[in-house]
Structure 1
Amino acid sequence: MRLKDKVAIITGAGSGQGKAAAKIFAGQGARVVVAEMNEEAGRETAEEVTAAGGEAFFYKTDVSDEANVKALVEEVQNRFGSIDVLFNNAGIGFSARSRYKMASILETPLEDWNSILSINLNGAYLMSKHIIPVMIEQKRGSVINNSSLNGIIGVSGADAYTASKGGVVALTRVMAADYGKYNIRVNCICPGAINTPMIQEVLSDPEIAKNYEAGPLGRVGEPEEIAYAALFLASDEASYVTGLIMPVDGGWSTV
Protein backbone atom coordinates (compact mmCIF):
# COMPACT_ATOMS: atom_id res chain seq x y z
CA MET A 1 0.00 0.00 0.00
CA ARG A 2 2.47 2.60 -1.24
CA LEU A 3 -0.03 5.48 -1.05
CA LYS A 4 -2.00 4.39 2.00
CA ASP A 5 -4.34 7.17 3.16
CA LYS A 6 -2.75 9.75 0.84
CA VAL A 7 -5.14 12.09 -0.95
CA ALA A 8 -4.33 12.23 -4.67
CA ILE A 9 -5.89 14.58 -7.22
CA ILE A 10 -5.56 13.33 -10.79
CA THR A 11 -6.66 15.66 -13.58
CA GLY A 12 -7.90 14.18 -16.84
CA ALA A 13 -8.65 10.92 -15.04
CA GLY A 14 -11.58 10.02 -17.26
CA SER A 15 -9.48 8.11 -19.80
CA GLY A 16 -6.04 7.00 -20.86
CA GLN A 17 -3.11 7.59 -18.55
CA GLY A 18 -5.19 9.45 -15.97
CA LYS A 19 -7.72 6.65 -15.67
CA ALA A 20 -4.96 4.08 -15.32
CA ALA A 21 -3.35 6.20 -12.60
CA ALA A 22 -6.65 6.55 -10.72
CA LYS A 23 -7.06 2.78 -10.59
CA ILE A 24 -3.44 2.07 -9.66
CA PHE A 25 -3.21 4.82 -7.05
CA ALA A 26 -6.46 3.67 -5.42
CA GLY A 27 -5.22 0.09 -5.46
CA GLN A 28 -2.21 1.31 -3.50
CA GLY A 29 -4.38 2.89 -0.81
CA ALA A 30 -4.86 6.44 -2.08
CA ARG A 31 -8.06 8.43 -1.77
CA VAL A 32 -8.43 9.49 -5.39
CA VAL A 33 -10.05 12.64 -6.68
CA VAL A 34 -11.08 12.17 -10.30
CA ALA A 35 -10.80 15.71 -11.68
CA GLU A 36 -12.25 15.43 -15.17
CA MET A 37 -14.06 17.72 -17.60
CA ASN A 38 -16.07 14.92 -19.23
CA GLU A 39 -18.71 14.10 -16.65
CA GLU A 40 -19.67 10.71 -18.04
CA ALA A 41 -16.06 9.54 -18.28
CA GLY A 42 -15.13 10.94 -14.88
CA ARG A 43 -18.04 9.28 -13.11
CA GLU A 44 -17.25 6.01 -14.85
CA THR A 45 -13.65 6.08 -13.57
CA ALA A 46 -14.77 6.84 -10.00
CA GLU A 47 -17.36 4.05 -10.14
CA GLU A 48 -14.82 1.54 -11.45
CA VAL A 49 -12.38 2.44 -8.69
CA THR A 50 -15.08 2.09 -6.05
CA ALA A 51 -16.32 -1.21 -7.48
CA ALA A 52 -12.77 -2.57 -7.20
CA GLY A 53 -12.68 -1.69 -3.50
CA GLY A 54 -10.86 1.63 -3.77
CA GLU A 55 -11.89 5.12 -2.70
CA ALA A 56 -12.61 7.81 -5.28
CA PHE A 57 -14.96 10.63 -6.05
CA PHE A 58 -15.55 12.63 -9.21
CA TYR A 59 -15.42 16.41 -9.48
CA LYS A 60 -16.16 18.06 -12.81
CA THR A 61 -13.07 20.12 -13.50
CA ASP A 62 -11.99 22.50 -16.24
CA VAL A 63 -8.31 23.01 -15.42
CA SER A 64 -8.21 26.21 -17.49
CA ASP A 65 -10.92 27.84 -15.31
CA GLU A 66 -9.44 29.31 -12.13
CA ALA A 67 -12.76 29.57 -10.30
CA ASN A 68 -13.46 25.90 -11.02
CA VAL A 69 -10.00 24.91 -9.80
CA LYS A 70 -10.41 26.90 -6.58
CA ALA A 71 -13.78 25.24 -5.95
CA LEU A 72 -12.23 21.80 -6.48
CA VAL A 73 -9.44 22.47 -3.99
CA GLU A 74 -11.93 23.76 -1.41
CA GLU A 75 -14.11 20.66 -1.83
CA VAL A 76 -11.15 18.30 -1.41
CA GLN A 77 -9.94 20.10 1.70
CA ASN A 78 -13.41 20.00 3.21
CA ARG A 79 -13.68 16.27 2.54
CA PHE A 80 -10.20 15.09 3.48
CA GLY A 81 -8.35 17.95 5.16
CA SER A 82 -5.20 17.40 3.10
CA ILE A 83 -3.82 17.01 -0.41
CA ASP A 84 -0.74 14.83 -0.69
CA VAL A 85 -0.38 14.21 -4.42
CA LEU A 86 -1.24 16.24 -7.51
CA PHE A 87 -0.92 14.53 -10.88
CA ASN A 88 -1.28 17.25 -13.52
CA ASN A 89 -2.26 14.86 -16.28
CA ALA A 90 -5.07 16.67 -18.13
CA GLY A 91 -4.20 17.75 -21.64
CA ILE A 92 -5.25 17.87 -25.24
CA GLY A 93 -3.33 16.57 -28.21
CA PHE A 94 -3.86 14.86 -31.52
CA SER A 95 -7.31 13.58 -30.59
CA ALA A 96 -8.45 17.23 -30.53
CA ARG A 97 -7.53 17.89 -34.17
CA SER A 98 -11.18 18.36 -35.09
CA ARG A 99 -11.32 21.35 -32.69
CA TYR A 100 -7.77 22.73 -32.77
CA LYS A 101 -5.33 22.81 -35.64
CA MET A 102 -2.21 20.75 -35.01
CA ALA A 103 0.31 22.35 -37.33
CA SER A 104 3.39 24.55 -37.60
CA ILE A 105 3.37 28.03 -36.04
CA LEU A 106 2.79 29.48 -39.51
CA GLU A 107 -0.43 27.53 -39.89
CA THR A 108 -1.74 27.62 -36.31
CA PRO A 109 -4.50 30.18 -35.66
CA LEU A 110 -3.89 32.31 -32.56
CA GLU A 111 -7.19 31.18 -31.05
CA ASP A 112 -6.14 27.53 -31.31
CA TRP A 113 -2.66 28.31 -29.96
CA ASN A 114 -4.18 30.00 -26.90
CA SER A 115 -6.71 27.23 -26.33
CA ILE A 116 -4.09 24.48 -26.40
CA LEU A 117 -1.79 26.33 -24.00
CA SER A 118 -4.70 27.22 -21.71
CA ILE A 119 -5.30 23.53 -21.00
CA ASN A 120 -1.87 21.92 -21.29
CA LEU A 121 0.23 24.62 -19.61
CA ASN A 122 -2.15 26.96 -17.79
CA GLY A 123 -3.96 23.96 -16.34
CA ALA A 124 -0.79 22.73 -14.62
CA TYR A 125 -0.11 26.29 -13.45
CA LEU A 126 -3.59 26.84 -11.99
CA MET A 127 -3.80 23.47 -10.26
CA SER A 128 -0.35 23.95 -8.76
CA LYS A 129 -1.06 27.57 -7.80
CA HIS A 130 -4.01 26.56 -5.63
CA ILE A 131 -2.74 23.24 -4.27
CA ILE A 132 0.86 24.09 -3.39
CA PRO A 133 -0.26 26.45 -0.56
CA VAL A 134 -2.03 23.44 1.01
CA MET A 135 1.15 21.40 0.68
CA ILE A 136 3.27 24.24 2.13
CA GLU A 137 1.05 24.27 5.22
CA GLN A 138 1.36 20.48 5.51
CA LYS A 139 5.13 20.64 4.88
CA ARG A 140 4.85 17.78 2.40
CA GLY A 141 3.57 16.97 -1.05
CA SER A 142 4.31 15.49 -4.44
CA VAL A 143 3.43 17.18 -7.72
CA ILE A 144 3.77 15.18 -10.93
CA ASN A 145 3.42 16.98 -14.24
CA ASN A 146 2.66 15.01 -17.38
CA SER A 147 4.49 16.47 -20.36
CA SER A 148 5.48 14.66 -23.56
CA LEU A 149 8.49 13.76 -25.64
CA ASN A 150 7.48 16.85 -27.63
CA GLY A 151 8.52 18.83 -24.57
CA ILE A 152 12.15 17.72 -24.75
CA ILE A 153 12.82 17.04 -28.44
CA GLY A 154 11.75 18.68 -31.68
CA VAL A 155 8.73 16.97 -33.22
CA SER A 156 7.25 18.74 -36.23
CA GLY A 157 3.59 19.26 -36.93
CA ALA A 158 2.00 20.27 -33.62
CA ASP A 159 3.86 23.38 -32.52
CA ALA A 160 1.34 24.73 -30.02
CA TYR A 161 1.20 21.31 -28.35
CA THR A 162 5.00 21.13 -28.34
CA ALA A 163 5.32 24.64 -26.85
CA SER A 164 2.80 23.80 -24.13
CA LYS A 165 4.60 20.62 -23.18
CA GLY A 166 7.99 22.34 -23.22
CA GLY A 167 6.50 24.89 -20.85
CA VAL A 168 5.44 22.09 -18.51
CA VAL A 169 9.03 20.82 -18.41
CA ALA A 170 10.41 24.27 -17.57
CA LEU A 171 7.67 24.85 -15.00
CA THR A 172 8.58 21.57 -13.30
CA ARG A 173 12.19 22.64 -12.86
CA VAL A 174 11.43 26.04 -11.34
CA MET A 175 8.73 24.63 -9.06
CA ALA A 176 11.15 21.99 -7.80
CA ALA A 177 13.68 24.74 -7.05
CA ASP A 178 11.12 26.97 -5.36
CA TYR A 179 9.27 24.51 -3.13
CA GLY A 180 11.81 21.88 -2.11
CA LYS A 181 12.39 23.81 1.13
CA TYR A 182 8.81 22.95 2.10
CA ASN A 183 9.37 19.23 1.47
CA ILE A 184 7.38 19.45 -1.75
CA ARG A 185 8.74 17.39 -4.62
CA VAL A 186 7.95 18.32 -8.23
CA ASN A 187 8.74 15.92 -11.07
CA CYS A 188 7.77 15.45 -14.70
CA ILE A 189 7.00 12.45 -16.90
CA CYS A 190 7.53 12.72 -20.66
CA PRO A 191 5.56 9.89 -22.28
CA GLY A 192 6.32 8.65 -25.73
CA ALA A 193 3.62 7.14 -27.93
CA ILE A 194 1.06 5.64 -25.55
CA ASN A 195 -1.90 3.52 -26.61
CA THR A 196 -4.67 5.92 -25.58
CA PRO A 197 -7.64 7.50 -27.40
CA MET A 198 -5.51 10.64 -27.88
CA ILE A 199 -3.34 9.03 -30.57
CA GLN A 200 -5.50 6.20 -31.92
CA GLU A 201 -6.23 8.11 -35.11
CA VAL A 202 -2.53 8.85 -35.61
CA LEU A 203 -1.52 5.23 -35.00
CA SER A 204 -3.97 4.11 -37.69
CA ASP A 205 -1.50 5.50 -40.24
CA PRO A 206 1.01 2.65 -40.83
CA GLU A 207 3.90 5.01 -41.61
CA ILE A 208 3.40 7.01 -38.41
CA ALA A 209 2.91 3.84 -36.37
CA LYS A 210 6.15 2.44 -37.79
CA ASN A 211 8.00 5.57 -36.67
CA TYR A 212 6.61 5.32 -33.14
CA GLU A 213 7.63 1.67 -32.99
CA ALA A 214 11.21 2.46 -34.03
CA GLY A 215 12.56 2.70 -30.47
CA PRO A 216 14.62 -0.01 -28.77
CA LEU A 217 11.56 -1.75 -27.33
CA GLY A 218 9.85 -1.74 -30.72
CA ARG A 219 6.33 -0.89 -29.57
CA VAL A 220 4.05 1.84 -28.26
CA GLY A 221 3.47 2.02 -24.53
CA GLU A 222 0.39 1.28 -22.45
CA PRO A 223 -1.33 3.76 -20.09
CA GLU A 224 -0.43 1.66 -17.07
CA GLU A 225 3.27 2.08 -17.84
CA ILE A 226 2.92 5.83 -17.36
CA ALA A 227 0.74 5.34 -14.30
CA TYR A 228 3.35 3.17 -12.58
CA ALA A 229 6.01 5.82 -13.20
CA ALA A 230 3.67 8.35 -11.59
CA LEU A 231 3.06 5.96 -8.70
CA PHE A 232 6.78 5.84 -7.94
CA LEU A 233 7.08 9.63 -8.02
CA ALA A 234 3.99 9.99 -5.82
CA SER A 235 5.22 7.53 -3.23
CA ASP A 236 7.68 7.94 -0.39
CA GLU A 237 10.06 5.70 -2.32
CA ALA A 238 10.88 8.82 -4.35
CA SER A 239 11.46 10.96 -1.24
CA TYR A 240 14.84 12.19 -2.57
CA VAL A 241 13.69 12.75 -6.15
CA THR A 242 12.70 16.22 -7.33
CA GLY A 243 13.20 18.20 -10.53
CA LEU A 244 13.36 14.96 -12.52
CA ILE A 245 12.36 15.05 -16.20
CA MET A 246 11.64 11.38 -16.89
CA PRO A 247 11.13 10.09 -20.45
CA VAL A 248 8.92 6.98 -20.46
CA ASP A 249 9.15 6.19 -24.14
CA GLY A 250 10.58 2.72 -24.68
CA GLY A 251 13.94 4.34 -25.40
CA TRP A 252 12.63 6.21 -28.44
CA SER A 253 14.38 9.47 -27.48
CA THR A 254 17.76 7.73 -27.17
CA VAL A 255 18.08 6.66 -30.80
Structure 2
Amino acid sequence: MIPIDNGTTENSTPAQTALVTGGASGIGRSTVRLFLTRGWSVVAADLNESSGRALLDEHPNEVAAGRLAFARADVSSEEDVERAAAQAASLTGHLACVVNNAGIGGAFGRITETSVEDWDYTFAVLSRGVFLGVKHAAKIMQAQGTGGAIVNVASLAALTGDAGPQAYSAAKASVVHMSRVFATELGPHRIRVNCVCPGAIATPLNPSASRGFDGSELARAQPLPFVGEPEHLASAIYFLGSSESSFVTGQYLAVDGGLEAAGPRLGQYLGTDPRYGSLVGVNRGNTGVKSTVHGKATQ
Protein backbone atom coordinates (compact mmCIF):
# COMPACT_ATOMS: atom_id res chain seq x y z
CA MET A 1 0.00 0.00 0.00
CA ILE A 2 1.41 3.38 -1.02
CA PRO A 3 1.35 5.99 1.78
CA ILE A 4 -0.58 9.15 0.99
CA ASP A 5 1.43 12.37 0.95
CA ASN A 6 -0.94 15.12 2.02
CA GLY A 7 1.32 17.91 0.83
CA THR A 8 0.70 19.75 4.09
CA THR A 9 1.40 19.16 7.74
CA GLU A 10 -2.16 19.58 8.98
CA ASN A 11 -2.26 16.26 10.82
CA SER A 12 1.11 16.76 12.53
CA THR A 13 0.83 20.44 13.40
CA PRO A 14 -1.19 21.06 16.58
CA ALA A 15 -2.09 24.65 15.77
CA GLN A 16 -2.55 26.15 12.31
CA THR A 17 -3.61 29.56 11.13
CA ALA A 18 -5.69 30.72 8.20
CA LEU A 19 -5.72 34.31 6.96
CA VAL A 20 -9.05 35.31 5.42
CA THR A 21 -9.26 38.65 3.64
CA GLY A 22 -12.66 40.24 3.55
CA GLY A 23 -13.21 38.12 6.62
CA ALA A 24 -15.59 40.42 8.47
CA SER A 25 -18.69 39.94 6.33
CA GLY A 26 -20.44 37.71 3.83
CA ILE A 27 -18.52 34.74 2.46
CA GLY A 28 -15.40 35.69 4.41
CA ARG A 29 -17.22 35.81 7.73
CA SER A 30 -18.77 32.38 7.18
CA THR A 31 -15.35 31.05 6.19
CA VAL A 32 -13.81 32.40 9.39
CA ARG A 33 -16.52 30.69 11.43
CA LEU A 34 -16.02 27.36 9.70
CA PHE A 35 -12.24 27.37 10.13
CA LEU A 36 -12.72 28.17 13.81
CA THR A 37 -15.15 25.29 14.29
CA ARG A 38 -12.61 22.97 12.67
CA GLY A 39 -10.02 23.92 15.28
CA TRP A 40 -7.98 26.42 13.29
CA SER A 41 -6.79 29.82 14.42
CA VAL A 42 -7.82 32.65 12.12
CA VAL A 43 -6.84 36.21 11.32
CA ALA A 44 -9.69 38.04 9.61
CA ALA A 45 -8.43 40.93 7.50
CA ASP A 46 -10.89 43.57 6.40
CA LEU A 47 -11.03 47.28 5.58
CA ASN A 48 -14.22 47.69 7.61
CA GLU A 49 -13.12 48.06 11.22
CA SER A 50 -16.65 48.15 12.67
CA SER A 51 -17.46 44.82 11.02
CA GLY A 52 -14.17 43.47 12.31
CA ARG A 53 -15.01 44.48 15.87
CA ALA A 54 -18.45 42.88 15.52
CA LEU A 55 -16.80 39.65 14.39
CA LEU A 56 -14.53 39.63 17.43
CA ASP A 57 -17.49 40.34 19.73
CA GLU A 58 -19.26 37.35 18.20
CA HIS A 59 -16.44 34.99 19.23
CA PRO A 60 -15.20 36.12 22.67
CA ASN A 61 -13.90 32.68 23.68
CA GLU A 62 -11.80 32.31 20.54
CA VAL A 63 -10.43 35.83 20.98
CA ALA A 64 -9.56 35.15 24.63
CA ALA A 65 -7.83 31.92 23.63
CA GLY A 66 -5.75 33.73 21.02
CA ARG A 67 -7.39 31.83 18.18
CA LEU A 68 -9.06 34.79 16.47
CA ALA A 69 -7.65 38.21 15.62
CA PHE A 70 -8.56 41.06 13.31
CA ALA A 71 -6.28 42.98 10.98
CA ARG A 72 -7.43 46.17 9.27
CA ALA A 73 -6.21 45.83 5.71
CA ASP A 74 -6.72 47.36 2.31
CA VAL A 75 -5.84 44.44 0.03
CA SER A 76 -4.73 46.80 -2.73
CA SER A 77 -1.93 47.96 -0.40
CA GLU A 78 1.14 45.72 -0.34
CA GLU A 79 2.13 47.00 3.07
CA ASP A 80 -1.27 46.09 4.52
CA VAL A 81 -1.31 42.62 2.99
CA GLU A 82 2.24 41.87 4.09
CA ARG A 83 1.42 42.99 7.62
CA ALA A 84 -1.74 40.87 7.78
CA ALA A 85 0.09 37.78 6.52
CA ALA A 86 2.86 38.28 9.08
CA GLN A 87 0.28 38.68 11.86
CA ALA A 88 -1.39 35.43 10.81
CA ALA A 89 1.92 33.58 10.74
CA SER A 90 2.81 34.82 14.21
CA LEU A 91 -0.50 33.76 15.74
CA THR A 92 0.50 30.09 15.96
CA GLY A 93 3.84 30.07 14.19
CA HIS A 94 2.40 28.23 11.20
CA LEU A 95 0.46 29.85 8.36
CA ALA A 96 -1.27 26.96 6.62
CA CYS A 97 -3.91 28.67 4.49
CA VAL A 98 -4.61 32.07 2.97
CA VAL A 99 -8.05 32.85 1.55
CA ASN A 100 -8.02 35.83 -0.81
CA ASN A 101 -11.67 36.73 -0.59
CA ALA A 102 -11.89 40.54 -0.19
CA GLY A 103 -14.06 42.01 -2.90
CA ILE A 104 -16.06 44.96 -4.17
CA GLY A 105 -18.66 45.42 -6.88
CA GLY A 106 -16.37 47.80 -8.70
CA ALA A 107 -17.02 49.93 -11.76
CA PHE A 108 -20.37 49.62 -13.49
CA GLY A 109 -22.13 51.26 -16.40
CA ARG A 110 -21.45 51.36 -20.13
CA ILE A 111 -17.85 50.78 -21.13
CA THR A 112 -17.88 54.00 -23.15
CA GLU A 113 -18.63 55.92 -19.97
CA THR A 114 -16.43 54.02 -17.50
CA SER A 115 -13.57 56.10 -16.13
CA VAL A 116 -10.01 54.85 -16.04
CA GLU A 117 -9.92 55.61 -12.32
CA ASP A 118 -12.93 53.39 -11.58
CA TRP A 119 -11.54 50.60 -13.78
CA ASP A 120 -8.14 50.77 -12.07
CA TYR A 121 -9.72 50.81 -8.60
CA THR A 122 -11.68 47.65 -9.45
CA PHE A 123 -8.57 45.82 -10.61
CA ALA A 124 -6.53 47.12 -7.65
CA VAL A 125 -8.85 45.37 -5.20
CA LEU A 126 -9.99 42.31 -7.13
CA SER A 127 -6.87 41.42 -9.09
CA ARG A 128 -3.88 43.10 -7.45
CA GLY A 129 -5.29 42.15 -4.04
CA VAL A 130 -5.15 38.46 -4.98
CA PHE A 131 -1.66 38.80 -6.44
CA LEU A 132 -0.44 40.39 -3.19
CA GLY A 133 -2.17 37.78 -1.07
CA VAL A 134 -0.55 34.95 -3.01
CA LYS A 135 2.85 36.68 -3.04
CA HIS A 136 3.09 37.16 0.70
CA ALA A 137 1.46 33.84 1.56
CA ALA A 138 3.98 32.07 -0.66
CA LYS A 139 6.95 33.87 0.91
CA ILE A 140 5.92 32.76 4.38
CA MET A 141 4.99 29.22 3.36
CA GLN A 142 8.25 28.75 1.49
CA ALA A 143 10.20 29.93 4.53
CA GLN A 144 8.26 27.51 6.75
CA GLY A 145 9.11 24.68 4.39
CA THR A 146 5.88 22.86 5.15
CA GLY A 147 3.73 23.77 2.17
CA GLY A 148 0.26 25.22 2.47
CA ALA A 149 -2.90 26.14 0.61
CA ILE A 150 -4.07 29.33 -1.03
CA VAL A 151 -7.71 29.75 -2.03
CA ASN A 152 -8.70 32.66 -4.26
CA VAL A 153 -12.32 33.74 -4.58
CA ALA A 154 -13.22 34.52 -8.19
CA SER A 155 -16.78 34.54 -9.54
CA LEU A 156 -19.13 32.97 -12.04
CA ALA A 157 -18.63 36.30 -13.83
CA ALA A 158 -15.08 35.12 -14.60
CA LEU A 159 -16.45 32.25 -16.68
CA THR A 160 -19.09 33.92 -18.82
CA GLY A 161 -19.67 37.25 -20.49
CA ASP A 162 -22.95 38.28 -18.93
CA ALA A 163 -22.81 37.55 -15.20
CA GLY A 164 -21.41 40.82 -13.89
CA PRO A 165 -20.16 44.30 -14.81
CA GLN A 166 -17.30 44.48 -17.30
CA ALA A 167 -14.48 45.49 -14.95
CA TYR A 168 -15.60 43.06 -12.25
CA SER A 169 -15.85 40.18 -14.74
CA ALA A 170 -12.45 40.89 -16.29
CA ALA A 171 -10.75 41.22 -12.92
CA LYS A 172 -12.29 37.99 -11.64
CA ALA A 173 -11.23 36.21 -14.84
CA SER A 174 -7.66 37.21 -14.01
CA VAL A 175 -8.09 35.53 -10.61
CA VAL A 176 -8.96 32.21 -12.25
CA HIS A 177 -5.92 32.36 -14.49
CA MET A 178 -3.59 33.58 -11.75
CA SER A 179 -4.64 30.57 -9.71
CA ARG A 180 -3.48 28.27 -12.50
CA VAL A 181 -0.23 30.14 -13.13
CA PHE A 182 0.73 30.42 -9.46
CA ALA A 183 -0.21 26.79 -8.81
CA THR A 184 2.27 25.75 -11.48
CA GLU A 185 5.06 27.84 -9.98
CA LEU A 186 4.41 27.01 -6.33
CA GLY A 187 3.61 23.31 -6.64
CA PRO A 188 7.23 22.19 -6.10
CA HIS A 189 7.07 23.98 -2.73
CA ARG A 190 3.97 21.94 -1.82
CA ILE A 191 1.89 25.10 -1.96
CA ARG A 192 -1.48 24.48 -3.58
CA VAL A 193 -3.39 27.30 -5.27
CA ASN A 194 -7.05 26.93 -6.21
CA CYS A 195 -10.06 29.17 -6.56
CA VAL A 196 -13.80 29.10 -6.11
CA CYS A 197 -16.28 30.79 -8.42
CA PRO A 198 -19.44 31.77 -6.54
CA GLY A 199 -22.69 32.15 -8.40
CA ALA A 200 -25.65 34.08 -6.99
CA ILE A 201 -24.87 34.08 -3.27
CA ALA A 202 -26.96 35.99 -0.72
CA THR A 203 -24.37 38.42 0.68
CA PRO A 204 -24.30 42.18 1.33
CA LEU A 205 -22.42 42.51 -1.99
CA ASN A 206 -25.22 40.75 -3.88
CA PRO A 207 -28.57 42.13 -2.67
CA SER A 208 -30.48 40.78 -5.67
CA ALA A 209 -29.84 37.19 -4.55
CA SER A 210 -30.74 38.09 -0.98
CA ARG A 211 -34.24 39.18 -1.98
CA GLY A 212 -35.41 35.63 -2.49
CA PHE A 213 -35.82 33.02 -5.16
CA ASP A 214 -39.45 32.34 -6.03
CA GLY A 215 -40.58 33.96 -9.25
CA SER A 216 -37.23 35.62 -9.91
CA GLU A 217 -35.14 35.58 -13.08
CA LEU A 218 -32.60 33.60 -11.09
CA ALA A 219 -35.15 30.81 -10.58
CA ARG A 220 -35.49 30.43 -14.34
CA ALA A 221 -31.72 30.40 -14.91
CA GLN A 222 -30.37 28.35 -11.99
CA PRO A 223 -31.03 24.59 -11.91
CA LEU A 224 -30.97 24.19 -8.11
CA PRO A 225 -34.15 25.75 -6.71
CA PHE A 226 -32.73 27.64 -3.75
CA VAL A 227 -30.50 30.62 -3.07
CA GLY A 228 -26.81 30.13 -2.44
CA GLU A 229 -25.67 31.08 1.05
CA PRO A 230 -22.22 32.12 2.30
CA GLU A 231 -21.97 28.81 4.14
CA HIS A 232 -22.03 26.96 0.81
CA LEU A 233 -18.90 28.84 -0.24
CA ALA A 234 -17.25 28.43 3.16
CA SER A 235 -17.50 24.65 2.86
CA ALA A 236 -15.90 24.69 -0.59
CA ILE A 237 -13.16 27.05 0.57
CA TYR A 238 -12.41 24.89 3.59
CA PHE A 239 -12.16 21.81 1.39
CA LEU A 240 -9.63 23.50 -0.89
CA GLY A 241 -7.78 25.09 2.02
CA SER A 242 -7.33 21.96 4.09
CA SER A 243 -5.60 18.63 3.57
CA GLU A 244 -8.95 17.21 2.44
CA SER A 245 -7.91 18.37 -1.05
CA SER A 246 -4.21 17.56 -0.73
CA PHE A 247 -3.82 16.48 -4.38
CA VAL A 248 -5.84 19.32 -5.91
CA THR A 249 -4.15 22.43 -7.29
CA GLY A 250 -4.59 24.84 -10.18
CA GLN A 251 -8.35 24.27 -10.30
CA TYR A 252 -11.50 26.32 -10.05
CA LEU A 253 -14.66 25.11 -8.39
CA ALA A 254 -17.92 26.75 -9.44
CA VAL A 255 -20.28 26.96 -6.44
CA ASP A 256 -23.22 28.31 -8.36
CA GLY A 257 -26.29 26.09 -8.12
CA GLY A 258 -25.59 24.83 -11.64
CA LEU A 259 -25.56 28.22 -13.39
CA GLU A 260 -22.37 27.52 -15.34
CA ALA A 261 -23.62 24.09 -16.35
CA ALA A 262 -26.92 25.57 -17.53
CA GLY A 263 -25.09 28.10 -19.66
CA PRO A 264 -27.14 30.57 -21.72
CA ARG A 265 -30.28 28.42 -21.57
CA LEU A 266 -30.61 28.38 -25.36
CA GLY A 267 -32.35 25.03 -25.06
CA GLN A 268 -35.53 26.84 -24.08
CA TYR A 269 -35.51 28.64 -27.41
CA LEU A 270 -34.04 25.92 -29.66
CA GLY A 271 -36.34 23.21 -28.33
CA THR A 272 -33.53 20.96 -27.05
CA ASP A 273 -34.26 21.35 -23.34
CA PRO A 274 -36.16 18.18 -22.34
CA ARG A 275 -38.19 20.09 -19.77
CA TYR A 276 -39.86 22.12 -22.52
CA GLY A 277 -40.37 19.39 -25.11
CA SER A 278 -43.71 17.68 -25.70
CA LEU A 279 -42.47 14.60 -27.59
CA VAL A 280 -40.10 11.71 -26.85
CA GLY A 281 -37.97 9.99 -29.47
CA VAL A 282 -34.71 10.21 -31.40
CA ASN A 283 -33.62 12.60 -34.16
CA ARG A 284 -31.37 10.67 -36.56
CA GLY A 285 -30.24 13.74 -38.48
CA ASN A 286 -29.02 13.29 -42.05
CA THR A 287 -28.18 9.61 -41.68
CA GLY A 288 -30.86 8.57 -44.14
CA VAL A 289 -32.62 6.70 -41.36
CA LYS A 290 -35.97 8.09 -40.36
CA SER A 291 -36.26 9.79 -36.98
CA THR A 292 -38.46 8.12 -34.39
CA VAL A 293 -41.15 9.56 -32.14
CA HIS A 294 -42.10 7.21 -29.31
CA GLY A 295 -44.88 9.31 -27.85
CA LYS A 296 -45.65 12.37 -25.80
CA ALA A 297 -43.59 13.35 -22.80
CA THR A 298 -45.03 12.59 -19.38
CA GLN A 299 -45.21 15.29 -16.73
TM-score (norm 1): 0.90
> 52-61 or 31-40, which moves further after superposition?
52-61
Q: 2:152 corresponds to which letter in structure 1?
A: N
- In 1, Cα distance between the equivalents of 2:213 and 2:94? 47
Question: Match for residue 128 of structure 1?
Answer: 134
- Counterpart contact for 1:5–1:31, Cα < 8 Å: yes
User: Structure 1 137/212 Cα, relative in aligned 2: closer, same or farther at 3 Å?
Assistant: farther
Question: Match for residue 48 of structure 2?
Answer: 38
Secondary structure class of the residue paired with 1:91: coil
- In 2, Cα distance between the equivalents of 1:161 and 1:207? 27
1:213 is displaced (CA, Å) by 5.5
User: Structure 1 228/202 Cα, relative in aligned 2: closer, same or farther at 3 Å?
Assistant: closer
- In 2, Cα distance between the equivalents of 1:202 and 1:146? 18
Report Cα offsets for 1:64-105 as digits up to 9, x if no partner. Answer: 111112222333333332211000000101xxxxxx541242
1:106 is displaced (CA, Å) by 2.1
User: Structure 1 206/141 Cα, relative in aligned 2: closer, same or farther at 3 Å?
Assistant: closer
Q: Which of 58, 63, 69 is equivalent to 2:75?
A: 63
User: Structure 1 110/234 Cα, relative in aligned 2: closer, same or farther at 3 Å?
Assistant: same
Question: Match for residue 160 of structure 2?
Answer: 153
Gaps of 5+ in 1: 94-99
1:201 is displaced (CA, Å) by 4.8
Which structure has more RCO (C-alpha within 8 Å, separation ≥ 6)?
1
Question: Which residues of 2 match residues 201-216 of structure 1 at below 5 A?
Answer: 201=208, 204=211, 209-211=216-218, 214-216=221-223
Q: Which of 186, 195, 208 is equivalent to 2:193?
A: 186
Q: Which of 26, 31, 48 is equivalent to 1:16?
A: 26
User: Structure 1 202/77 Cα, relative in aligned 2: closer, same or farther at 3 Å?
Assistant: closer
- Counterpart contact for 1:202–1:209, Cα < 8 Å: no
- Counterpart contact for 1:188–1:246, Cα < 8 Å: yes
Q: 2:257 corresponds to which letter in structure 1?
A: G
Matched, 1:232 2:239: yes
1:133 is displaced (CA, Å) by 0.9
Question: Match for residue 227 of structure 2?
Answer: 220
- Counterpart contact for 1:213–1:219, Cα < 8 Å: no
- Counterpart contact for 2:183–2:250, Cα < 8 Å: yes
Report Cα offsets for 1:102-148 as digits up to 9, x if no partner. Answer: 12422321111000110011101111111211111223110000000
User: Structure 1 183/196 Cα, relative in aligned 2: closer, same or farther at 3 Å?
Assistant: same
- Counterpart contact for 1:103–1:157, Cα < 8 Å: no
- Counterpart contact for 2:201–2:209, Cα < 8 Å: no
Larger Rg: 2
1:49 is displaced (CA, Å) by 3.0
- In 1, Cα distance between the equivalents of 2:180 and 2:93? 28
Secondary structure class of the residue paired with 2:151: strand
- In 1, Cα distance between the equivalents of 2:194 and 2:118? 28
Q: 1:69 corresponds to which letter in structure 2?
A: V
User: Structure 1 253/208 Cα, relative in aligned 2: closer, same or farther at 3 Å?
Assistant: farther
Matched, 1:108 2:120: no
Q: Which of 167, 171, 176 is equivalent to 2:174?
A: 167
- Counterpart contact for 1:4–1:28, Cα < 8 Å: no
Report Cα offsets for 1:14-63 as digits up to 9, x if no partner. Answer: 11000000001000011000101100101211332344787210110110
Identity of aligned residues (%): 37
Aligned residues: 249
- Counterpart contact for 1:108–1:160, Cα < 8 Å: no
